[in-house]
């Protein structure tokens, strides 16, 4: 399941802080701050989608992620590869390396990562 852009912004704050209260989420936003009801509605949708849970402390809820950032990102990228690159990670990697402004050092680092993965596959 996918998050909307607004939900992703909130989710990034939750991932960053590990646990967070509604007031902290609102304070973390730039001005103009979103309405409390708007953030509460987004959090409810995110709960319904299975992305966040909460602990109740009196009338306050402390929210936490139920989905790891890496897992969400990996699923998102896999969907993009499937939808835009014919399910070919090779085409995606080729597109990424030729269209991004990677420096020679960054390309060398990427090459090292690929070489490490090759070695893992050979074992």
Same structural domain for residues 80 and 37? no
Q: Whole domain around residue 112: which residue ranges?
A: 69-122
Query: How confident is the model at residue 20, as a pLDDT?
Result: 96
Q: Are residues 32 and 55 in the same domain?
A: yes
CATH of the domain at 39: 1.10.10.10
Q: What is the pLDDT of residues 40-61, one digit of tens each?
A: 999 999 999 999 999 999 999 9
Please give the tally of structural domains in the chain.
Answer: 2
- Do residues 73 and 58 share a domain? no
Contact of 32 with 83, CB cutoff 8 Å:
no
13/60 same-domain check: yes
Interval 74-91: pLDDT, tens: 998 998 999 999 999 899
Write phi, then psi, for 43 (nearest 5 degrees).
Answer: -65, -40
Please give the model's pTM, rounded to 2 decimal places. 0.77
Domain identity same for 37 and 52:
yes
Element (H, E) at 53: strand 52-57
Q: For residue 38, is pLDDT > 80?
A: yes
The answer to whether 43 and 50 are in contact (CB under 8 A) is no
> Is residue 12 located within the same domain as residue 58?
yes
């Amino acid at each position: 399941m996918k998050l909307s852009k607004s939900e992703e912004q909130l989710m990034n704050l939750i991932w960053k802080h590990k646990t967070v209260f509604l007031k902290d989420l609102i304070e973390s936003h730039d001005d103009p701050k979103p309405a409390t009801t708007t953030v509460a509605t987004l959090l409810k949708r995110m709960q319904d989608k299975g992305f966040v849970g909460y602990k109740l402390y009196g009338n306050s809820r402390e929210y936490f992620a139920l989905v790891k950032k890496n897992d969400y990102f990996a699923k998102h990228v896999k969907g993009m590869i499937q939808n835009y690159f014919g399910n070919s990670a090779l085409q995606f990697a080729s597109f990424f390396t030729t269209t991004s402004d990677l420096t020679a050092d960054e390309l060398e680092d990427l090459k090292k990562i690929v070489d490490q993965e090759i070695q893992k596959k050979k074992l």
